[in-house]
């Protein structure tokens, strides 16, 4: 049996820390590559606007509007709007969650009372869609995951 020397200990330490550093660098690279962006541009400004956001959410809830989203076979989105006045303006912003596809702006046209269809197709896949409905001074927003 050979004697355990300082060189053996050095080899074990270099090997151990080499593995730890390699794993950390790999995990950091994966994390940076998969993060799609920032939540807010400036957290201080966002904290100052928080109460205004709460007031807007209460006003939106008081409207009583609701939307059901349907992905049609032709690739366009259909909105079934309940409780909202006729003739409102409907738009949406579709973001790919990981930023692999470009963001798309969608405009909806009214096809019947309470039914709206996007003028453009949205490719199949996973999307985060932020809907905005406007009727006069009333505004309604919602964000939804589509798959």
Mean pLDDT over all residues of the chain? 86
User: Highest mean pLDDT range out of 10-14, 104-108, 126-130?
Assistant: 10-14
Task: Using CA atoms of 47, 91, 130, 31 in order, give the dihedral in degrees to the nearest 10.
Answer: -100
Residue 18: its pLDDT value, please? Answer: 97
Whether residue 36 has pLDDT greater than 70: no
Share of the chain above pLDDT 90, in %: 20
CA distance 26 to 70: 40
HEC string for 2-60? CCCCHHHHHHHHHHHHHHHHHHHHHHHHHHHHHCCCCCCCCHHHHHHCHHHHHHHHHHH
Architecture of 65-146 per CATH?
Sandwich (2.60)
Whether residue 33 has pLDDT greater than 70: yes
Whether residue 37 has pLDDT greater than 70: no
Cα–chain center distance at 47: 20
**Residue that wins the pLDDT comparison between 12 and 56:** 12
Residue 67: its pLDDT value, please? Answer: 84
Q: How far apart, in Å, are the Cα atoms of 116 and each of 50, 120, 141?
A: 31, 12, 15
Share of the chain above pLDDT 70, in %: 97
Whether residue 39 has pLDDT greater than 80: no
**Residue that wins the pLDDT comparison between 143 and 84:** 143
Please write the tens of the pLDDT for every residue from 61-114: 888 888 888 888 888 888 888 887 777 888 899 988 777 788 889 888 888 888
Whether residue 34 has pLDDT greater than 80: no
């Amino acid at each position: 049996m050979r004697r355990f020397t300082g060189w053996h200990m050095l080899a074990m330490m270099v090997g151990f820390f080499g593995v730890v550093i390699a794993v950390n660098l790999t995990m950091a690279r994966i994390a940076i590559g998969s993060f799609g962006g920032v939540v807010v541009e400036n957290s201080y400004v966002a904290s100052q606007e928080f109460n205004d956001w709460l007031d807007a959410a209460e006003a939106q809830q008081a409207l009583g509007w609701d939307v059901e989203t349907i992905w049609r076979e032709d690739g366009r989105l259909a909105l079934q709007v309940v409780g909202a006045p006729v003739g409102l303006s409907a738009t949406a912003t579709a973001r790919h969650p990981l930023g692999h596809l470009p963001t798309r702006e969608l405009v909806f046209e009214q096809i019947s009372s309470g039914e709206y269809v996007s003028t453009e197709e949205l490719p199949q896949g996973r999307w985060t869609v932020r809907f905005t409905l406007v009727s006069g001074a009333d505004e309604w927003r919602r964000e939804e995951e589509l798959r």
